[in-house]
Structure 1
Amino acid sequence: MLDISRIRTNEDHYHQRMIDRGIEKRVIKEIINLDEDRRTKLKEVEYLRNEKNMAYKKVQQLKKNGVYTDEVDYDTKEKNKEIKKLQEQLTSIEEELNDILFTLPNIADGSVPIGNDEQENEEIRVNGEKKKFEFEVLPHYELGENLGILDFVRGSKVAGKRFVYYKGLGARLERAVYNFMLDLHTRKHGYTEVIPPYLVKESAMFGTGQFPKFKEDVFSIENENLVLIPTAEVPLTNYYANEIIEYEKLPIYFTALSPSFRSEAGSAGRDTRGLIRMHQFHKVEMVKFTDKESSFDELEKMTHDAEEVLQLLEIPYKTIVLSTGDMGFSATKTYDIEVWFPSQDTYREISSCSNCLDFQARRAKIRYRDSKGKIEFVHTLNGSGLAVGRTVAAILENYQQLDGSILVPTILIPYMDGIEVIH
């Protein structure tokens, strides 16, 4: 959530920053006007409360002196009515103000390219050589079905579209991939492994910015204040909700494997086959809590942590910085990592690493005590390290052989108990 005091003192700056994120200029003006009304009403309430307190003291003194009159008592009651009326108006103004603030995205960092959509994203680096195949490459879902390691037909029969069964060495490969990722992040990159809840309260979804704007994108439990997590970012980031972290503990790194549940609202007709866009998939998530000076350095480190997964798997990828029109709601800057899919002759997203500054921390009330003892909001970061199903899909496509078998990437062979080929 944006800081209203910063908007108030930097109105022109926020006007432009919101325009860059596709928000109309009038919205910031509306916020400023509501904030002025709110502060005016607060002063009026404070003034009347002082008047009421003075009248109350006067009544007590008159009673003590035996000269109490109904006129003074009436004045106190009238002030109570005025205060109640003002408080109702104040509540209405605050609700209207919050309705706007809760749905405004984070401002973009000055280094982010300005644009309306993905067409304005900027390529940062490309890694790895694309393999030249001497045969017609197959998409991962055909490879998986031919080998009997992916079963989309029965997944659809049991759960509906966008569900799958992993079988045999397919399940083993998925497990190998996420165990490798977790080992890399915990043993080399310094993350603490966490097994989080897979159901969270709506307040947790609000804390990370999914609610109230994106409620249609999740699966909620009917008659319960619980939601199936769309990403482990939600329970990991909310770990410190409503807490103050001591400065010496920062930065804090968490990583977790979890299922992710997405309704994929609005994606009809897109990636209807395969592992790219599922209702349920595994993801290894990375989350960081930092002080306000370190978050951009930590974003660079996190992005390289995610990239190293693909480097060790020896799969080509590229890294891009998202434009203002393509960035997520809570982010101030995002790097996307896109992995090469030979069957599509294109790169597809496999990770997003974002710095959210204090945007999520304000919503979830996550603070830290700095070296001087001052209370500040932490900066939060999150990134996929990586989306497991998409990684499996990329392995199948990039390591496919003429006979339809799949070579196991060298780094994964120990995780596959020495199996080198899936056939």
Structure 2
Amino acid sequence: MRSEPKTLLAKLCDRQNLTYRRFEERFTQTGVHLFGNSPNNPTCGETQFRRWTGGKLAGLPVPETCQILEAMWPGYTAEQLFAPPPADDPQAPAFDLEERVQMTAREAHDGADATAAASISDNTIDELRDQVVNLARCYHSMPAAKAYEVADDLRREVERQRDRTQIPVQQQTLMILNGQTAALLAVAAFDLGYFPSARTLARAAAVYGESTRFAPLQAYADGTLAYIAYHAGEPNEALAKAQRALSYSGLGDIAQRRLHAIAARAYAHLGDVGSARRAIQLSEGGGRDAHDELHDTVGGEFGFSAERLAMSNSTTALLMGDAEQAAVEAGRALALVEERAQGEQSTHVRAGAAADLAHARLLSDNVEGAAAALTPIWEVPPEQRNTGIVVRTARIGRYLAQPRYHGAQVPMQLREQIEDFTRESPPYRLGPPVPLLAIRS
């Protein structure tokens, strides 16, 4: 049979079903409420709790402890709490209910205060989202080094805001924004020629996509890992990444278009011409009129415009040795670029397509036509000569180094221009030499 409580404190704890653990939590919370979150606040160990409730305490605890206990049970003094319970306490049930309501109200209010202190304004998140969208849409007009700096500053700010909130929906949104900035950083690092760092950043973006169950971000990151892989001479890895990305659900037509184009390039690197052609056909298909929140809603660098698709497929055609198709696709890319407003024209696409068109003409032994096609290349400012452009022009330089062109004036002139062009590019000035395995001669 259970013995009678030795102290009023023990009786009150029994009535409220306060185990030591629950008592200690309430004691600590009340101390914080009274004295702030200080390391000097009174504490209560289990042995001490047993002494308090067992009537084994000689005298009273320190004044701060008494204040906490009196705040936990308003209406009782510390002397009463540590004394034996009164024999007859008709008011106790009513008082206990009132005290319980008061305590619940205080706990709820304190919890609301803590929640409010651990959140950020939705306006802050909206501003960060707008900045990510703006960077993605302006990326085509920015030097890669500048884009990297902006994206890294944005990443740091998103991280800072993540540390300030414990609201799940805000954490989720900020993680997605973090993943998008990591993806843009990966692209910028690739454009600068830092392949290992680009791969690490793309993997970080993929992790954010996986953690938030945001499939479009996962797919974009895996697609980026795929083209990094085939530029690094790993076509099998590239194909595996592209195929995995294509397996995700919830992707829009633009995402599918980009991934099929990347897969086509990987197949071409592997020499599987049939599969490469099928992938090109899939990339150019009509789609299902499906959209997603990254490739469509954000767009910009996360999108994959018709001219970019044409440029990518022209490069794939070159890898397959199909000069005619390469010339058609490159010409289409250039025409589509010209149809856009001046501020929306991509220097990367124009230069890349021009290089592909020049190479296609070289494959048909049209050196003069190749020289004419390269005209837009020389207009690219040094700070915007990213990896894709450098790889394509270097491929042409390698092609023109064949013995049959030795001594010829135009090929020699073009080789010199290409050397000067690549020497001033960020991948050669800022980082290690760009691997030129992506475009084989």
What TM-score comes out, normalization by structure 1 length? 0.26
TM norm structure 2: 0.25
- The one of the two structures with greater contact order (alpha-carbon pairs below 8 A, sep at least 6) is 1
* Structure (1 or 2) with the larger CA radius of gyration: 2
Choose between structure 1 and 2: higher helix proportion.
Answer: 2
Higher strand share: 1
